[in-house]
């Protein structure tokens, strides 16, 4: 049976080690100067709330969001330029490339950091159908990014696999399954910021130690 494979990015293919607290503090300062002092957590939702709070008119909301996200984007690009490759990531990608399997990336990271992050792996955006938080209304755990990637690499008659390292990845796959393919399956490869208990709680999935092990299972299935 034909199939396709999509991956999360940070924690799955690469480790970005984003200095999220510095970005959070800078964004908090930006909105604090405008009279908003609520915690920037979770950061994407907090940006939206803060922008709606400080805007005097509806048309001001989006520019505030863009300005705040620009701070986050800059931090992610800096992290992507010094990213490290996750164990088995290149081996997994090459195995799929040799077989001509369509591949995608569905990530909550920014579009701005994709090119430098993929360069660390030795690839470009031409090797994957990529959807970032910038192309969807709702980031993971909502299914939007997976649905968008699936529209580019899968059909309703095919199996699709999604390999991720965090609970939001598994939850997104569970939510997307009825809308993507009859057999959208999630594989969890625990990363530096997740635990087996958290991943199990997010929904049904298969566990492997590395991305290479996960892809070997996909190919053999």
pLDDT in tens, 24-81: 999 999 999 999 999 999 999 999 999 999 999 999 999 999 999 999 999 999 999 9
Which pLDDT value is given to residue 12?
A: 97
Checking DSSP bridges between strand 159-164 and strand 84-85, what pairing results, if any? unpaired
pLDDT attached to residue 41:
94
Tens of pLDDT, residue by residue over 165-219, are: 999 999 999 999 888 766 899 999 998 888 889 999 999 899 999 999 999 999 9
Distance CA 83, CA 31 (A): 29
Q: Give residue 179's pLDDT.
A: 80
Nearest to 216 by CA among 92, 89, 90: 92
pLDDT digits (tens, 9 = 90+) for 135-175: 999 999 999 999 999 999 988 778 899 999 999 999 999 99
* Radius of gyration in angstroms for the set of CA atoms belonging to the chain, rounded to a whole number: 18
Question: How much is the pLDDT for 210?
Answer: 96
Residue burial 183-208, b: 16+ Cβ < 10 Å; e: rest: ebbbbbbbbeebeeeebeebbebeeb
With bands split at pLDDT 50, 70 and 90, how would you rate the model's confidence at 18?
A: very high
Angle between helices 144-153 and 167-180 (to 10 degrees): 50
pLDDT at 182: 63
> Could you tell me where the DSSP H helices lie in 43-143?
43-54, 61-81, 89-99, 114-121
How many Cα atoms occupy the beta-carbon half-sphere of 6 within 13 Å?
Answer: 31
pLDDT for position 137: 93
Res 193: pLDDT: 83
Cα of 56 vs its chain's centroid, Å: 32
Other beta carbons within 10 Å of 145: 26
pLDDT, position 183: 80
Residue with tokens 């490759």: 85
Rounded to two decimals, the pTM is: 0.95
The answer, yes or no, to whether residue 1 has pLDDT greater than 70, is: no
Give the per-residue pLDDT at 203.
93
d(Cα 101, Cα 194) in Å, to the nearest integer?
28
pLDDT band at residue 2 using 50, 70 and 90 as cut-offs: confident
Tokens of 54: 């400080």
What span, in angstroms and rounded, lies between the C-alpha atoms of 209 and 190?
7
From the CB of residue 170, how many other CB atoms can be counted at a distance below 10 Å? 27
């Amino acid at each position: 049976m034909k199939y396709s494979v999509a991956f999360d990015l940070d924690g799955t293919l690469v480790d970005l080690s984003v200095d999220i607290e510095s970005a959070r503090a800078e964004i908090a300062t930006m909105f604090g100067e405008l009279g908003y002092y609520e915690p920037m957590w979770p950061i994407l939702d907090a940006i939206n709330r803060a922008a709606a709070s400080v805007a005097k008119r509806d048309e001001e909301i989006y520019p505030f969001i863009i300005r705040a996200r620009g701070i986050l984007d800059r931090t992610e690009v800096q992290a992507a330029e010094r990213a490290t490759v996750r164990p088995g990531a290149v081996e997994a990608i090459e195995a799929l490339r040799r077989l001509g399997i369509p591949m995608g990336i569905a990530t909550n990271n920014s579009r701005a950091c994709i090119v430098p992050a993929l360069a660390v792996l030795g690839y470009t955006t031409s090797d994957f159908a990529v959807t970032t938080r910038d192309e969807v209304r709702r980031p993971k755990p909502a299914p939007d990014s997976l649905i968008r990637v699936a529209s580019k690499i899968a059909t309703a008659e095919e199996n699709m696999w999604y390999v991720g390292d965090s609970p939001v990845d598994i939850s997104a796959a569970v939510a997307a399954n009825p809308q993507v393919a009859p057999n959208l399956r999630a594989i969890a490869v625990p990363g530096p910021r997740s635990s087996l208990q958290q991943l199990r709680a997010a929904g049904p999935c298969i566990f492997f130690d590395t991305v290479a092990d996960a892809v070997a299972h996909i190919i053999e299935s």
